[in-house]
Amino acid sequence: MSENSIISLQNVNKWFGDFQVLKDVNLEVKKKERIVVCGPSGSGKSTMIRCINRLEEHQEGKIVVDGIELTGNLKNIDSVRKEVGMVFQQFNLFPHLSVKENITLAPIWVKKMPKAEAEELAMKQLEIVKIPEQANKYPGQLSGGQQQRVAIARSLAMNPNIMLFDEPTSALDPEMIKEVLDVMVDLAEGGMTMIVVTHEMGFAKTVADRMVFMDEGKIVEEASPDKFFNDPESDRTKLFLSQILHQ
């Protein structure tokens, strides 16, 4: 593990039953680095980032996040989850709570923040994602793009050092993708450490410091966006790029 890595995956292996989803995955992420992970479906990219906040358990290898190793130790898992925010493909907002309550819940219960302070924080986060006027609505009353922005605000309210995005725009209607990506670009420019699983190659080109291409549970190629898009090394990457760029 290099000195300044904030996330480090070393020889990580994981199986679902007999099926091996992650094969000897090694990844080092430095502080403030923006990584975009892409690859065909079933390549293990979602599973990999879900291992980073222990929504999935890895069976072999070592994962260290901000100096904390992820093991069965529940205390470690709790501290890692406080460091790492996550945004899901399906938003996963809490439908029985208002937008504001979705955001204040964790600060109040996990960080024991006073309610007034948490609400102020929520409004600040909603302004960052540009929908302060929706604070008192319920998730079901919002569009997909707005819901995903609330989900981002909900994660940011815990003041994480690292944000994980698991295909954040895949469930959105085309005209809503941009509003979510804009928020993510702002976040990246603010210096957040980000790992983003996405097929939005335009976003990848503007934001990514490094591209990671996965196939069949392995990291096939890791390169700067410039090299990745213009001069990829492996044939598998070339094939993948030709398929997604020439639809």
* Contact pattern from residue 113 through residue 152 relative to another protein, giving x for each residue in contact according to CB under 8 A and a dash for the rest: -------------------------xxxx--x--x---x-
- Tokens 């879900």 belong to residue: 50
Tell me if 154 contacts another protein by CB under 8 A. Answer: yes
Q: Does 61 bind another protein (CB under 8 A)?
A: no
Contact with another protein (CB under 8 A): which of 26, 69, 96, 234? Answer: 96
Task: Choose which of 92, 136, 230, 234 interacts with another protein (CB under 8 A).
Answer: 92
Q: Give start and end residues of each alpha helix (H) in the chain.
A: 45-52, 74-83, 99-109, 115-128, 144-156, 174-189, 201-207, 225-230, 235-245
Q: Does 53 bind another protein (CB under 8 A)?
A: yes
Q: Find residue 223's DSSP bridge partners.
A: 211
Under the criterion CB under 8 A, does residue 46 sit at the interface with another protein? no
At residue 223, φ and ψ (nearest 5 deg) are -160, 165
Q: How far is the CB of 196 from another protein (least distance, A)?
A: 15
State the pairing for strand pair 84-87/162-166: parallel
Largest distance between two CA atoms of the chain:
56
Cross-strand partners of 197: 37, 166
Q: Does 15 help bind another protein (rule: CB under 8 A)?
A: no
Write out the residues near another protein by the rule CB under 8 A.
53, 55, 78, 81-82, 84-86, 88, 90-96, 105-106, 109-110, 138-141, 144, 147, 151, 154-155, 158, 171
